[in-house]
A and B are shown apart, each in its own frame.
Chain A
Amino acid sequence: MTSTLPPTYDRTGRHALSPEVDHDETARFNFLTNLNVHLGQKVSPGNRAAFEKRVAPGFKKETGSDLQTRQQVRVAMRQDPYYQCWAALRRNTMEQRQQAGRHVVLRQLDDLISKARDFNSGKETLAIDTAAEVPRYLAAVDNHCMPGSYYTEVVPDDVLAGANYESGLFVTTAGSMSSHGNGGGRAIVNFVKEHYPDFAPKRILDLGAGIGVNTLPLAAAFPDADVIAVDVGAPMVRWGHARAQALGYDRVKFVHADGDRMDFELGSFDWVQTTMFWHETSTSAIHSMMKKIHDLMAPGGLFLNVEQPNFTPDTPLFDQFTRDWDAWYNNEPFWSKLHVMDVFEIMQDAGFDRGKMFDGGTEADIEQGQFQPWSSTLSRHKPELKDGGDAKHNAYKGERWYLFGGWK
């Protein structure tokens, strides 16, 4: 039987750098994890009921026509008291998770910085660019309600953003990303090994890698490859590098850089990976960075991106609205725009060949044991598509992460 209870926080994977999480902090994470699960499984489904039973009929009665766009659905849902309550609880739970995680890290920040320094100092696998510029799409809004975002430094050599990100990942995803939070990276590896069994990259770039939770599985899968994780947040890179060292990935490089200042040899990467990345950027960034990615790729190289479920014009309006939610209420505004952009056109503009592009779906890979794959019951992004999207997206059934890419 698949359990519907998430694992307790004490089951998360730890390493030499992990913050101490005391009894009550653990309990707080446990409560918030369970609250997230409850909101997803028990409360969120009511939004659909409210939509079908009274919001959509109410709109029709008032205006004489059916709801036509997801924007109309959003405006109409905002008036519904059931939805209001769910949304307020969900937003509040995310804020509570941030507060809880930040407090854990802040109370021992000196110690964590010192430990990270021990792992980081003198290592050629770490590069911090003090002149890196935080792009406006990050500077103007703190994505997913993470105060200070990825880049803010409270003290010198700060690691707060990275340590808080890691310590709360379990709570936010309710343990659905595996014990080390690397279910996404493991899923990417599974996809690549299944579809391209002969692919043997020698040099891999993970762009917007954060603390590298999803980068390390790539290094594990291709132990002979040079793996480079790039991120614009210095505290993420510092923490990610120290964490990788603590976990035994002493060859993975962590480079702090903004997209425009990345200084790598053109045509040198067999694989450029982006994971849950583009929805936190902008239209101009996606165009310029896609071009940069194409330039950095070696002939025959792979570009692969993994995102949360997207939608197409054929996706039912309510599901479009649901998948758009985080854009407006979890501080990820570009997501809403990205959902309707033609990424293949952008890739083509950047130099990719239409005939070598693909898309599909993949699932988070969770190791067996304490982290049983119970989490498929999390419903926030679990759509009820009849058939997956239009012909272009026919490999994608909407129940899994969306994945697209291309070969050079």
Chain B
Amino acid sequence: MTEIDVNKLANAKAKGKRPYFFDDPAVERVLSITMAVATELAVTRERLDTVERLLEDGTPVTKANIDAYRPDDDASRERQQWHADYINRILRIIHQELEAIENESLNEDPEKLADDFAAAS
């Protein structure tokens, strides 16, 4: 058996210069860590869902039963729907930015509006 550092190897960098897309790489770093945390919350939520389903079935909530759990078709769909809804919630600002790109009328400047409203008779 060869000793390997699992965590270090799991995190290995792919060869090739990494692209950073934001003007400041720090933004990318924070986004990356935020998404990793979001992932782990989703993992915890799916585990909680399993616990709830075991409880509903009257199955003892043990680590072994949690690991052995396989969702039926309905549960599988419901869990995927939860992921889809969850991702939709956490990426809200991106969707709103898209709406703003698509519909110029959503973007009136409050400073200008304030002046407009003040000038209105």
Contacts and interface: CB of A to CB of B under 8 A. Distances in A.
Interface of A: 3, 5-8, 10-11, 22-24, 26-28, 30-32, 34-35, 37-38, 42-43, 45-46, 49-50, 53-54, 78, 81-89, 91-93, 95-96, 98-99, 102-103, 106-107, 109-110, 140-142, 145-149, 154-156, 328-329, 331, 333, 370
A76 to B, nearest CB: 14
Contact of B87 (A38, A53, A92): A38
Nearest to A91: B19
Interface string B37-68: 00100110011001000000000000000110
A95 to B, nearest CB: 8
B88 A38 contact: yes
Leading 4 A-B pairs by shortest Cβ distance: A27-B46, A142-B14, A147-B12, A34-B83
Contacts, number: 163
Nearest to B23: A84
B119 interface: no
A331 B94 CA distance: 25
B84 A34 contact: yes
A155 B84 contact: no
Interface string B66-95: 110111010011011101100110010011
A328 B23 CA distance: 17
A99 B80 CA distance: 21
A92 B14 CA distance: 12
A23 B50 contact: yes
Contacts of B32: 88, 92, 95
Contact of B84 (A5, A7, A93, A107): A5
Contact of A32 (B39, B67, B73, B76): B39
Nearest to B71: A8
A32 B94 CA distance: 18
A42 B31 CA distance: 18
A318 B27 CA distance: 26
A8 B80 contact: yes
B99 to A, nearest CB: 9
Interface of B: 1-2, 4, 6-7, 9-16, 18-23, 27-28, 31-32, 35-36, 39, 42-43, 46-47, 50, 66-67, 69-71, 73, 76-77, 79-81, 83-84, 87-88, 91, 94-95, 97-98, 101-102
Contacts of A148: 12
Contacts of A87: 19, 21
B17 to A, nearest CB: 9
B50 A147 contact: no
B83 A329 contact: no
Contacts of B101: 46, 49-50, 53-54, 82
A42 B11 CA distance: 28
A46 B93 CA distance: 13
A322 B64 CA distance: 45
A155 B6 CA distance: 12
